[in-house]
Amino acid sequence: MQPELCARSIGQLRVDGLLFKDHNGDGRLDPYEDWRLTPQERAVDLLGRMTLQEKVGAMLHANPPTTQAAAIPGAGSAWDFASMRELVLQRHVGAFLNRLQAPPAELARQANTLQALAEEGRLGIPVILSSDPRSHFSHSQGVSVAAGGFTQWPDAPGFGAAGNAELVRAFADGVREEYRAVGVRMALSPMADLALQPRWHRCNGCFGSSPEDVRSLVQAYVAGMQGGMDGLGPQSVVSVVKHWVGYGATSPEGFDAHNHYGRLLDLRSDGIENHIRAFAGAFEVGVGGVMPSYGMPPPGLRVPDVAGDIEQVGMSFNRQMVTDVLRGRFGFDGVVISDWHVTDDCTRACIEGAQDGLRPGPADIAMPWGVEHLDRPGRFAKAVQAGVDQFGGADDPRWIVSAVRDGLLAQSLIDQAVRRILVQKFSLGLFENPYVDEDAAARVVGRPGLKAMALDAQRSSLVVAKNAGCVPLARGKKLFLEGIDAQAAWAAGFTVAERPGDADLAIVGLRTPHELLHPRHFFGSRYREGRTGWLAGDADLERVRVIAAQVPTVASVYMDRPADLGALEPLVAGIVLHFGVQEQALFDLLSGRHTPTGRLPFDLPWLQSKSPPTGLALRRGEGLSL
């Protein structure tokens, strides 16, 4: 069936009454231009036409340069197309991470401009645009993007709390619709990592702590994002499941492997299969991509059917885990994309933190754990030999070219990696039409139907942890609000008091506490680390104490990490836990219009220190009804 063809500068050919794009402008239909052939056949033909430099460029997944300085590479509102021209046409970079914050129509316009630039290349190879998650309430530099105009769904633990795989599939399908509208064809998600340490910053990206539950929800996510259970097709957004494997097995302090001080994973030989099992659902539905973890395993780690101890290097450099387990045991033949900046040099500031008085910046970002002693060509070579196909945050082809020319890296491994990358682009239909409708983007992104679905998901994710008879509330009740939008209360049929003593009930919005433990490190200064409970004297806790002394109080706690409720619980009459929520959904629960069904996706940390009072929901799988 004739597909729609769209181009800005590439001509067309008519063969057998059908139309084809003449990507290389030679006036004849070459196999890679023939959409009647399989993606595998087309990839083999195109691979044979590429120079080493063009092949290496396909292996780079760059941060696009922007017109304004940003705290994280590639962030901003507009790309610098003068610099992009060099990356696409001279360095042949084949993929870019879209971290832009701009209206949907503008995102679509810039995506189209980039694809038009790629058309000017010798072989007319389209680029692929990826995105970190941008459809949630939490966002952190380097791992996610603020939602902006995109529909806001609960954070991943909220879907774990809802416990509904079909809901996750519908969520991912909605995200796919929005991503495609702005030209994003690869989602750097979901996380199949297990949220085991409550102090870990990235618990907010995990579905929970149960390997089986995570496995099921990850499978549903991949099926929704890729548009089916059978891998990639023209309607797909490639799902890149991450972080292979054991990223959630942090140190007891919860320190993240983005940082030198958190690089060593707390994996055990008798527990690593739990982390592997959480990924299995993604492989069963043909996930297109896998991203290895930054973290490096501890000494003496063993994995079934793998000879010897697992090498102590970051997972992108670990042949045992990528080739033997991922590709061998699971037969994965998709694209392995390294996490960002694994081949960069870790400077003194990267290891020890910035000097006193200086704020750590992008120059301090590097995660070459376990291979710091290698030079850049050596790191690239070791990663490709391990099974990596594409390098996140890399835009300079000379290191891989040097590794090949110096005999560190066989060109056959380059060909193997690029074949996988090309098969993916052909499968997505990018060679026929990489463009999007700029006007339609504004209608699709954040459309009312998706927002209604997201609001329902937020309701389903709410977990009642305590209720001493204070809810549901009758309409007309007078509420005192702290950290809660008064307009949402009025809209729900309540009145709002100016002082606690004048109210029937107080509702206080809180967020899991944190500490600033590593202000001199780039990610340590930006991520939420340290304790997750309130201490006597904390401003938030003392504010609750004052309010609760005057009126029964319900705490609405945003669980961006699993909170320790030990000091809060005795002060309040009710606790509602959420994972990113619009206050309309909260008031639907408090008023009884929504019956709470959410169950905790992980244990809360108070269990580690004392027994909770009877009737307080603190364990995974628990939640109260009204």
d(CA 238, CA 211): 23
Cα–Cα distance list, 402 to 58, 376, 399 (Å)? 16, 10, 5
- Is residue 244 within 8 A of residue 326, CB to CB? The reply is yes
Paired sense of beta strands 391-392 and 478-482, if any: unpaired
| DSSP annotation string for 392-433 | ET---THHHHHHHHTTSS-HHHHHHHHHHHHHHHHHTTTTT-
Element (H, E) at 579: none
d(CA 432, CA 428): 9
Element (H, E) at 581: none
Paired sense of beta strands 99-100 and 75-76, if any: parallel
- State the burial class of residue 362 (Cβ atoms within 10 Å of its Cβ: 0-12, 13-18, 19+): middle
Q: Residues of 367-405 as b/e, b for ≥16 C-beta within 10 angstroms?
A: bbbbbbebebbbbbbbbbbbbbbbbbbbbbbebbbbbbe
- Is residue 578 within 8 A of residue 458, CB to CB? The reply is yes
What's the half-sphere exposure (Cβ side, CA atoms, 13 Å) at 10?
Answer: 31
Which amino acid is residue 11, in one-letter code? G
- Is residue 321 within 8 A of residue 310, CB to CB? The reply is yes
Alpha helices in 101-234 (DSSP H): 104-119, 156-162, 165-181, 211-226
Q: Compute the Cα dihedral for 249, 294, 283, 235 and give only its sign.
A: positive
Paired sense of beta strands 18-22 and 95-97, if any: unpaired
512: nearest Cα among 582, 461, 565, 464: 565
Of 213, 339, 364, 603, which one is the catalytic site residue?
A: 339
Is 339 tagged catalytic? yes
Q: Quick one: how far is CA 556 from the chain centroid?
A: 25
Look at the block and give the residue holding tokens 């603190």.
Answer: 618
User: No. of H helices and E strands in the chain?
Assistant: 20, 18
Active site residues: 339
